[in-house]
Structure 1
Amino acid sequence: MTEKQEYAQDVYIRMNLDEDKDYCFEVKKTQTFKDLFQIFETLPLALCPSIFYNRVPKGFMVSRCPGELTAEGGLLFGRDADKPKWLTRVSNDDLIVSKVWPGQLLLPIWEEKTFLTYSIYAALLTWLYTDLPDFISPTPGIALTTWVCKAVCYLVEKFYDAGFAEYLRGELLFESGKVLQCVFFFFNVLKVLIIFGSLKFGVVNPYSLTSKPPAITKEDLIRIGWTGSRKVSVEVFKGDYRNHCIEKAGGVMAAYKDGILTKLSDTTLALEEGEGFNTPLDTKGKLTLKDLEEQDKFFLTLDFIIAQEKFFHEQHADLDETEFAKAFKKFRNYGPFETSPQIKRIVEKRFEKAKPSQQ
């Protein structure tokens, strides 16, 4: 059996706590959740939320948010995917395929670097304290800026020119008024807040402060199940699906005449508890497509997922390997933009059920 054939299903992992970074990975039947740690150890990227967290998570939570059903039967994660009510902690020793549906979202559990966090807090607060206006500070004259200026003047005096050093002292170390000191302190507070915010929210998020990112090979990417795909948001799907349908119809006017524009007003639907990715796992493999046609709710089933992929392969059978890979990557990003008549009936029935409650 080849490496490719060993893969059982896709899962998505949210990186940097960013809903725009839900990356897709292929996992094998025998893989446990702790095997996913190799992703964070291998990729030369800072995938944690900020510098305040360890680079490798300590575990995972499964998002059981039902998600949003698309007009063609795809499932997006929706806006509430990371809300605590939908998150379930799993053991690192659990088999992945036993705890998730194909295509489900995992959220890493990040452990804070306590020592680094408090060290940075202490450094920034100390910096602010030293910059307190002299008329307020219990220890006036200890501003870091003042000490830097004194050091510069000393070096100029020793290695360049004593007269010029005296001139600098007069320009840089003059006694400023209270108002000017307060203005200077305000800008220092602003500077510290910008630095803290950049670190806290991951704007500045280096891979490491002490080491370079590891080199990575194609074999490494295959080993960790990297696909290069990431699930799009509901808003992105709506815009791109609308453009696809209009282009397929032959333009806006043609789409309007065919009544397509009216249908494009509702292209996603927020599912309810017990549906979508919230479908109980013990039903996996039990419900068929025919069963789904008779249901008022949209339950996730293996038959449904297999039928979607089969239809996709049939529709793209004539593509060469490169073009097929591009098309399949888009399929992973968005879900299907076209689907079979049977799946279309199932989806349309669920959309019809939702109409009265949306009015």
Structure 2
Amino acid sequence: MIMPRRKAPQPHHFRSSTALTEHIASKRLGIINSREWKEEWAQRWVVYADLVAFASRALRSEPVVLNNIVRFDRASTLVAAEVPQIAVRRFSDATFAIAESFHQALAFGVALSHTCLAFNREFLNRGTKPFFIHLIAPRVTIANGQVLLLPTDASHPRYNGIDPRSVLAGSAIVRAYQLERHSAGGLVTIDESGIDALRVLQVRGDNGRVTNGLRRWVAQVGNAEAVAKGEVLFHRRRVLDVPWLLMRPLQDESGQVWGAHNEDADAAIQTFLQVWDKSVREFYSPQNFDASLDVSKHSQAAIRHAVQCHHAAHGRRVPKYQSFRELLD
């Protein structure tokens, strides 16, 4: 005979509003002394990455959402394992990485962008129907400021009643989030604090056309005339898009940024253009008829970035209009 399942005993403090208030008071859960939390606050760099078009995909197809979110989580996990000194927090379609230095933050953003691109290349190589909804395209922003970050093994009484991994706050979080408004899918975008930190990095590599193009680009970041002419991937509000397509995925030497080998950069740029070509096609497909006009900015910004990276990788010093289809063909 199957015995009926007994209900779990109801907590005393949830039996009434008064009991709940008394419980909070007796456990001192509502008392926070900010002076005891000073060590949890620090000046840090935050990488904020979220998937483009995830919300609309969530309304459109459960299998697509599952495909997107699992592959993005796997990409984030792969990168976190390669950059263990960075604290990573995941929430739905967003990944936060908290770093002590700009170089660490840049390394994470570059590696995550490359890893998502590699997932997309693997998908396209399978020869299945190449729809953009099946591809993962993060928008990455990097900002600096104060961050409240708790250790995951927190045992101090002041951590009672909270999950340390769910507590993340501070001005850097807000700045990275706000910077999204001036970025787009496929880009790694930094603001003025990041620009100053980028300028002092030494470019390393094989001295091929890609490395030399990256070296010229970093040198131009501080060139006011080049910036005014639009030669350095700047755009509104003095924000800058980092040409991560010209960099190798792993940036593990502090103070240095390594350029990619020529063939590797060419392959990355080609795959990147293929990904965003799918976005252009999907924008005017019948299945996507009700998409917001704002969505088109992602593909336009990404294609522009890829064309500019191609020019830098092939020694073109003066910006020139070129159709991305010319590069694909």
Determine if the TM-score, normalized by the shorter chain, exceeds 0.5: no
Normalization by structure 1: what TM-score?
0.21
Normalization by structure 2: what TM-score?
0.22
Q: Greater relative contact order (Cα 8 A, min sep 6): structure 1 or 2?
A: 1
